[in-house]
Amino acid sequence: MPETATPGAPARLDARRVRADFPILSTVNRFGKPLVYLDSAATSLKPRAVIEAVDAYNTKYSSNIHRGIYEIAERATSAYEAARVSTARLINAPDAAEVVFVRNATEAINLVAYSWGRRNIGRGDTIVLTEMEHHANLVPWQILVQEKDGDLEFIPITDDGKLRLEVYEALLHLRPKLVAFTHVSNMLGTINPVRELTEMAHAAGALVLIDGAQAVPHLPVDVQEIGADFYVFSGHKMLGPTGSGALWARRELLEAMPPFLAGGDMIREVHLRRSAFNDVPYKFEAGTPDISAQIGMGAAAEYLMGLGLDAVRDHERELAVYAMATLRRDVPGIEIYGPEADDRGGVVAFNLPGIHPHDVAQILDRDGVCVRAGHHCTMPLHERFDLAATARASFNVYSLPEEIDALATGLREVSRIFDR
């Protein structure tokens, strides 16, 4: 948990103490090396609080929600809805009923594209995205505009990975129906000026969707302060289980949107030839959900709020500063992509010239160092930099400077093996 050194001083995150909450960090790999987990941007590790919340559902009150009137069913419903309240608090949503539970940010974006998009995007309408989007915030819009004969436009980025706001301003003259962008780039680490981007979009008459998958776990997010219309994120990126996630949207938008999936629990009443749909958010939650996963995401939200998101952000900023300085100093020839450390989240994508990232990751694994290698679901962004792939180290609340040192040592060994 964060510590306060002196009364009134900002809380600091004690990562060494936090690590005790993550059982997997006590494991070793097949070579007997301790785990150095630097792939949190792909999926985060899970603390005991989350593991125990999931286990409690499965062992003590495993039943369906919203239907049963016996004791354990009522307990399951209560825990599930408490998780919704916790998730809403995490992003300062004004109303927990505006939080729709989904499997991940990808499903949330698809929900908006299918439900809001197919009702509101027509022939000749424009959607504005950025060059740094994850495929999850690109492919659904490609499908939509192809189906509706609409158009996609893209905000380009600078060589250091920042959006070109002057081009964005020009694109807004096209009067787009929607602007969708990532809060934090999962490859470059760029933290976008989301409030400014949102204000500019609204002034042009557009709605705004923000992909917060790489933001919610790492820095304070206030959807009311940002002013967005849709905000999406995944539970497994924020210390929660896989198969959990959320869409937040303004209530009036959710009320006007038709259901995304149809079946049980999303209905108020059903007749042979017509149905009446449930209230939001249940209108968008058809069938039995992954109950334990969403309960786990609620536990993860409480855990993060207990640490303090300001403390989490400060910790990861310090790690980014240390990582970029250490890698540039200790790994000859390394190429690092994206903005300087103060303008990025805890993500560092890099390459060793002449060595494929897959080889880098495989050799690092021998020493227990886990990094991502590939295009990180951002193929157009890699094309922008003329890259086939990159290696990526990413941090979280349990990450330590010594793990960055281990990465640097491992990368020097990779260079030695390849005689670079």
The residue extents of the domains of the chain are 2-34+308-417, 51-306
Whether 249 contacts 108, CB under 8 Å: no
Reduce the DSSP state of residue 255 to 3 states and report it: helix
Q: Which CATH superfamily is domain 2-34+308-417 in?
A: Aspartate Aminotransferase, domain 1 (3.90.1150.10)
Q: How many residues does the chain have?
A: 420
Q: Could you read off the pLDDT tens digit of each residue along the chain, which spans 420 residues?
A: 344 444 455 579 999 999 999 999 999 988 899 999 999 999 999 999 999 999 999 999 999 999 889 999 999 999 999 999 999 999 999 999 999 999 999 999 999 999 999 999 999 999 999 999 999 999 999 999 999 999 999 999 999 999 999 999 999 999 999 999 999 999 999 999 999 999 999 999 999 999 999 999 999 999 999 999 999 999 999 999 999 999 999 999 999 999 999 999 999 999 999 999 999 999 999 999 999 999 999 999 999 999 999 999 999 999 999 999 999 999 999 999 999 998 899 999 999 999 999 999 999 999 999 999 999 999 999 999 999 999 999 999 999 999 999 999 999 999 999 986
Sign of the Cα torsion 168, 237, 266, 287 reads positive
Distance, in Å, from the CA atom of 236 to the CA atom of 44, rounded to the nearest integer, reads 6
Residue 352 near residue 334, CB atoms below 8 Å: yes
Print the SS3 string covering 182-210.
ECECCCCCEECCHHHHHHHHHHCCCEEEE
Which residues have CB under 8 Å from 250's CB, separation 6+? 98, 229
Catalytic residue, from 377, 379, 412, 418: name it.
377
Domain 2-34+308-417 identical in fold to domain 51-306: no
Distance CA(58)–CA(52), nearest Å, equals 10
Rounded Cα gap, residues 54 and 318, in angstroms:
32
| Three-state SS at 374 | strand
Is the preceding omega at residue 281 within 30 degrees of 0, hence cis?
A: yes
Integer angstrom CA distances of residue 70 from 11, 84, 224? 44, 22, 38
Tell me if residue 377 is catalytic: yes
Q: Three-state SS for 114?
A: helix
AA identity, residue 33? K
Torsion-angle region of residue 319: left (phi > 0), alpha (psi -120 to 50) or beta?
A: alpha
325 DSSP β-pair partners: none
The CATH architecture assigned to 51-306 reads: 3-Layer(aba) Sandwich (3.40)
Q: Is the pTM of this model over 0.85?
A: yes
How far apart, in whole angstroms, are the C-alpha atoms of residue 243 and residue 344?
27
**Contact 251/97 with Cβ under 8 angstroms?**
yes
